[in-house]
Structure 1
Amino acid sequence: MTISSSSTRTPAPRPEGARARPTRPSARPNGQWKVDGPTPLNANEEWKQVDNGLSVRERIEQIYAKGGFSSIDPTDLHGRFRVWGLYTQRKPGIDGGRTATLEPHELEDEFFMLRVRIDGGQLTTEQLRVIAGISQDFGRDTADLTDRQNVQLHWIQVESMPEIWRRLEAVGLGTTEACGDVPRVVLGSPVAGIAADELIDATPQIHEITSRFIGDESLANLPRKFKSAITGHPAQDVVHEINDVAFVAVEHPEHGVGYDLWVGGGLSTAPRLAERLGVFVEPAKVADVWHGVAQIFRDYGYRRLRNKARLKFLLAEWGAAKFRQVLQDEYLGYALPDGPAAPTPATPGDHVGVHRQKDGRFYVGVTPIVGRVSGPTLAKLADVIEAHGSTRLRTTPHQKLVVLDIPAERVESLVAELDALGLSARPSLIRRGTIACTGIEFCKLAIVETKGNATAAVLALEERLAGLDLPHPISLHVNGCPNSCARIQTADIGLKGQLVTIDGEQVPGYQVHLGGGLASQDRAEAGLGRTVRGLKVAADGIADYTERVVRRFLAERDADAGETFAQWAHRADEEALQ
């Protein structure tokens, strides 16, 4: 069911690629350490100064794992645990209408979501089996692939954490700074080091950043989360436009292959795309430049208000030119050369399907529905990969998996066995483009169910749209609240969870965003989606609405000009989008 308000006039949508309006400098102190001094201006900043969270692991292992959930200090529970990848999950049975009215302790269960950090998305089958075993032994078989290349488990108890860390670290994995006001996982190309068309393998740069700076006390108290991405692939496959700092491979006419530097991207309730600083970064200097940007955020980032404590707000005030100057003068001590922008990608960045590697073998990108897998599925996946002569795979920023190093004669057998596991190498264009956040099933911030609703919609749409000639994958992103973990503003169809009113009664539903996209999603230029005032979809109406708007797109698009869904959605009349 769709609810719209045709009587209200909608302002013209922001043009594709347009920036959010810059914020005005506040007359009050913003908590910028290099401007206002380090005195904490809120309770969150106070506890972080006392203990930023890195030391809480010892208390988890020595006190809380022995004393159980009731022994956990509240500040550790609601703050410092995050630094080690632990969030309390939502208590079952609490409807979305109560999300904003209950206190955290009323919403939370005595179980945790655990985020396993996978920098660059690089995994071995041995590591995959360990994650699968943890899921089966401690997480009720849960496992979700995130859109930041991590794996999330649920139903974890604090008593299990010492053994979980022992197993993870024995195979080179961990949860250090997987959440919290710290440098989060570094996104990397899922085909780094193996793609035939790669410009540069960014793996050494990712390794240098993580080995030097993850767990570094000097960066363990940032204003808020700090998201990073690096890719050497021309598909620009790490959603660089929505990261705090990102490096995109480019060939400089004088200096050879290096990186174009982007800063200040982020979504949530105040979306803003990152901006190029216009500099060229040679590979050997990537880690130092990354460190400089992280230090700028630490020293100049806003700390007084949590909803303004992201790097994008500082960039909006400073502008790219000042940011570059401060980076060079205060943190690097040298000027970076001017650099060109990377060309527009010619291929999608999700790497789904069968592709030849530069060594003649093949990699196979597969799509689970909305990133949902399970411990048993991951264990079987490891078996299947090894039976086909490989021990390597990658996670992706699109809730997908890529299996590497498959001999040509084994490809079709692998594809068939992965399909039997629900991992499709040749998915429908709807399944391929759909992602969903955790939703109300586990998340304390959520208002609406996501994974189940999105899965049901995908299955229904595969039947309804069968035989239609879609020109490209339709990205359908389903989010359980306004925070945009599923990147709703950068999807063809983005659904933001909220309560909607139908026949005078509030029910779970979604606000609709249309026509967003990133360079890695077949977009000539990244842009944020438009909203049509009053256009909302009930939770059980995703398939109905998507079918209707996709059919309208196919009927009206300028096929001769290769018009995409995003381009059509931005020019279409409101009536066509209902």
Structure 2
Amino acid sequence: MNATTPAQAAPRAARPTRTTSTGAWADGDRSPLNHNEEFKQADDGLNVRARILETYSREGFASIAPDDLTGRMRWWGLYTQRKQGLDGTHTGGDGLDDEYFMMRIRCDGGALSTEQLRVVAGISTDFARGTADITDRQNIQLHWVRVEDVPQIWERLESVGLGSTQACGDVPRVVLGSPVAGIAADEIIDGTPAVEAIVGQYLGSPEFSNLPRKFKTAVSGSPSLDVAHEINDVSFVGVEHPELGPGFDLWVGGGLSTNPMLAQRLGTFVTLEEVPEVWAGVCGIFRDHGYRRLRNRARLKFLVADWGTERFREVLEQDYLGRALPDGPAPHTPGELRRDHVGVHRHRDGRVWVGVAAIGGRVNGEILATVADAAEAAGSRRIRLTPHQKLLVLDVEPDRAEGLIATLDGLGLPARPSEWRRGVMACTGIEYCKLALTETKGRARWTVEQLEARLPEMDVPISIHLNGCPNSCARTQTADIGLKGMVAKGEEDRVVETYQVHLGGALGAEPALARKTRALKVRADELPDYIERVSRTYLAQRGSGESFAAWARRADEEDIR
């Protein structure tokens, strides 16, 4: 059963929270209140595919209509990338668009076969100058894509069941899933059927192709809480109901960026079979009641914050599902479990998976092709990407694991990385992103290599997240050390890349947004010095079993400078 639409049953109007109209459709007036709403109303973003195939790929970049170029092409995973050579004083405005595109390849649940990975590797080599990045949304991101090549890229992707449909835009984005779904010995419930059902029923559907803004989903039955459910719009978290058995706890309204909010539990229990219907109900609420007037408030988290969970649950059950959901238990959050699945771990069937760490998710076409070959040599045909920019090879025979590990290590993908290498994440940064102020991928690698040499004795998990702008694609506010890119003027008015420091963010057993200390900023070329200094202070002051995040939240200000 699909979620009801306004045509089927008029949703109740949201309780007004301010005198100015929010632009919510449920208020009865669909007049577009900004240009994004205008171009979406004029033509569904899904329709641009035909123009890409029939016109733009044949007539070239100059033929692309402006609203398609900067708007609707996102519905097919395409953003113009940043012109090269522009520093961080140029951001967000006109004149930054290069005549090349970033393309996101959608990998729901992070699932790839070795055949699919090899096709992606070939596309990277043939059409994207060898570029490929693993994102923290379980996608693979390419750069330097020409519009003339998009039809061939789509043809290759679709021949193996992949694509870029709704990888960007005001739509449901990729569905995060546990990368070890169906194989982990401690799994509460396998969410794979729910991920596949959501994608199969709703991907590319006009029912949800015009949302107020992006909509992020996560489904996992892992007790390690491995999909960052606290920062998604809607998440289904595996739990064991005392009477109804295994199922999911429902969370809504998470998101970071410039106004971070952690998701909230609705307190409902959802069975595996109910997940797609309940997902559609939550997505329908966002479509109908979400705020469309201002882009900076057009996320579900603002509606949840204004309504509260009690009202949100009431609207979901009465107006979109037509029935009440049973109450359910909260998930257990064991502090000792790590979320990234790096290392060698045993399947429930006796085989193992091997999880490796690419620094900041940066790989390339040649590496991906070699990973596919090495996986098959180890008896595997299944690859998984994680929400932590890591890569897993599943189904490995135990006696072949060390040979696979040696091959992957030679590619710069260690299965036994240092804590520094294991905990780093980085967004796209100024290399390609038009919103970025600072470089991130190369800076992450240099910082990690410096810290490995200076402080190899780091013996506990420590996460360093580098973000090139305030939008927090690399989850600045949930890292032990979150670094938000900024620019300043140095000597002779030269642009100096700096990072605002956030400390003590965490998800999992003790979720918390990071601490911001007034005026704590570090020059990019001094990052290893600062991180070494604050880490040594932590090692000297920590209590028994105390995490870096817990220490950072209690430390004196002079100790974290």
Report the TM range for the smaller structure's normalisation.
over 0.9
Partner of 1:300: 289
> SS at 2:553's partner residue?
helix
Matches within 5 A, 1:405-424: 405-424=395-414
Q: Is the 8 A contact 2:237 2:248 kept in 1?
A: yes
Q: Is the 8 A contact 1:88 1:110 kept in 2?
A: yes
Partner of 1:544: 529
Distance in 1 between the 2:169 and 2:42 partners? 15
1:500 positional shift:
3.3
> SS at 1:197's partner residue?
coil
> SS at 2:250's partner residue?
strand
AA paired with 1:549? V
Q: Is the 8 A contact 1:30 1:36 kept in 2?
A: no
Matched, 1:270 2:281: no
AA paired with 1:408? P
Distance in 2 between the 1:525 and 1:52 partners? 42
CA distances 1:178-231 after superposition (whole Å, capped 9, x unpaired): 000000000000001111111111100000000001111010000000000000
Partner of 2:29: 37
Matched, 1:254 2:243: yes
1:38 positional shift:
1.2
Matches within 5 A, 1:44-83: 44-83=36-75
Partner of 1:487: 475
Summarize the Cα distance change of 1:513–1:504 in structure 2 as closer, same or farther, 3 Å threshold: farther
Bigger mean CA deviation after superposition, 74-83 or 337-346: 337-346
Distance in 1 between the 2:54 and 2:91 partners? 33
Matches within 5 A, 1:297-336: 297-336=286-325
Q: Is the 8 A contact 1:389 1:406 kept in 2?
A: yes
Matches within 5 A, 1:565-576: 565-576=548-559
> SS at 1:528's partner residue?
coil
Distance in 2 between the 1:368 and 1:119 partners? 20
1:173 positional shift:
0.3
AA paired with 2:440? T
Q: Is the 8 A contact 2:121 2:364 kept in 1?
A: yes
Distance in 2 between the 1:393 and 1:542 partners? 33
AA paired with 1:436? A
Partner of 2:486: 498
> SS at 1:251's partner residue?
strand
Partner of 1:564: 547
Distance in 1 between the 2:504 and 2:16 partners? 28
Matches within 5 A, 1:383-462: 383-462=373-452
Distance in 2 between the 1:148 and 1:548 partners? 31
> SS at 1:191's partner residue?
coil
Matched, 1:25 2:13: no
Q: Is the 8 A contact 1:24 1:317 kept in 2?
A: no
Matched, 1:349 2:339: yes
Q: Is the 8 A contact 1:193 1:203 kept in 2?
A: yes
Q: Is the 8 A contact 1:29 1:36 kept in 2?
A: no
1:39 positional shift:
1.2
Partner of 1:527: 512
| Residue among 139, 147, 150 paired with 1:161 | 150
CA distances 1:499-537 after superposition (whole Å, capped 9, x unpaired): 135569551111000000111xxxx22110010110001
Distance in 1 between the 2:295 and 2:409 partners? 44
| Number of aligned residues | 545
Q: Is the 8 A contact 1:500 1:538 kept in 2?
A: no
Per the normalisation by structure 1, the TM-score is 0.93
Distance in 2 between the 1:489 and 1:24 partners? 30
Q: Is the 8 A contact 1:370 1:436 kept in 2?
A: yes
Distance in 1 between the 2:61 and 2:491 partners? 43
Partner of 2:268: 279
AA paired with 2:189? I
Q: Is the 8 A contact 2:419 2:458 kept in 1?
A: no
RMSD, aligned CA? 1.2
Partner of 2:6: none
AA paired with 2:386? T
Distance in 2 between the 1:426 and 1:262 partners? 33
Q: Is the 8 A contact 1:122 1:394 kept in 2?
A: yes
> SS at 2:218's partner residue?
strand
Q: Is the 8 A contact 1:250 1:340 kept in 2?
A: yes
Q: Is the 8 A contact 1:500 1:536 kept in 2?
A: no
Partner of 2:11: none
AA paired with 1:551? R
| Residue among 178, 185, 199 paired with 1:189 | 178
Q: Is the 8 A contact 1:132 1:376 kept in 2?
A: yes
1:541 positional shift:
1.3
Distance in 1 between the 2:232 and 2:414 partners? 28
Distance in 2 between the 1:503 and 1:134 partners? 44
Distance in 2 between the 1:383 and 1:43 partners? 47
1:52 positional shift:
2.1
Distance in 2 between the 1:348 and 1:292 partners? 32
Structure of greater relative contact order (alpha carbons < 8 Å, 6+ residues apart): 1
Partner of 1:382: 372
Q: Which runs of 5+ in 1 are unaligned?
A: 1-22
Distance in 2 between the 1:320 and 1:410 partners? 49
Partner of 2:204: 215
| Residue among 219, 222, 227 paired with 1:238 | 227
Distance in 2 between the 1:96 and 1:273 partners? 29
CA distances 1:270-291 after superposition (whole Å, capped 9, x unpaired): 0000000011001110000000
Q: Is the 8 A contact 1:121 1:187 kept in 2?
A: yes
Q: Is the 8 A contact 1:440 1:448 kept in 2?
A: yes
Partner of 2:4: none
Distance in 1 between the 2:365 and 2:437 partners? 27
AA paired with 2:36? N
Distance in 2 between the 1:52 and 1:424 partners? 44
Q: Is the 8 A contact 2:46 2:76 kept in 1?
A: yes
Partner of 2:5: none
Per the normalisation by structure 2, the TM-score is 0.96
Q: Which runs of 5+ in 2 are unaligned?
A: 1-14
Partner of 1:201: 190
AA paired with 2:324? A
Distance in 2 between the 1:191 and 1:44 partners? 38
AA paired with 1:380? T
> SS at 2:238's partner residue?
strand
CA distances 1:235-286 after superposition (whole Å, capped 9, x unpaired): 0100000000000000000100000000000000000000000110011100
AA paired with 1:180? G
> SS at 2:363's partner residue?
coil
